[in-house]
């Protein structure tokens, strides 16, 4: 069993944010969802669904992997 292809996921440092103060992981996740064709309302709902997990990791000093969050967000969209 190999490691498989690069999924394009990235790890975002815990303190990383945009000039507006928005966490980088949140912006990256929103852009990914919009790029996959979800409308802004659905994408925002999915971001909100995974935000507690991301914030908990950051509070514990861990990085946030956008690829992992994207999979979780897509899973939450299946339930909307």
pLDDT of the chain along its 80 residues, tens only? 444 444 455 555 444 676 777 899 999 999 999 999 999 999 999 999 999 999 999 999 999 999 999 999 999 998 76
SS3 23: strand
Instruction: Tell me the residue ranges of DSSP E strands in the chain.
Output: 11-12, 64-65
pLDDT in tens, 2-15: 444 444 555 554 44
Is 24 part of any domain? no
The burial of 46, by beta-carbon neighbours within 10 Å (0-12 exposed, 13-18 middle, 19 or more buried), is given as buried
Residue 69, H or E segment: helix 66-78
Is 11 part of any domain? no
- CA-to-CA distance for 4 and 16, rounded, in angstroms? 28
**Which domain covers residue 53, as residue numbers?**
40-80
| Structural domains counted in the chain | 1
- CA-to-CA distance for 42 and 52, rounded, in angstroms? 17
């Amino acid at each position: 069993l190999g490691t498989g292809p690069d999924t394009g996921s990235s790890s975002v440092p815990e303190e990383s944010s945009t000039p507006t103060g928005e966490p980088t992981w949140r912006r990256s996740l929103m852009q990914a969802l919009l790029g996959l064709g979800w409308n802004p309302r659905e994408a925002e709902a999915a971001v909100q669904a995974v935000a507690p997990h991301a914030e908990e990791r950051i509070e514990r000093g861990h990085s946030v992997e956008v690829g992992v969050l994207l999979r979780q967000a897509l899973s939450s969209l299946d339930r909307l």
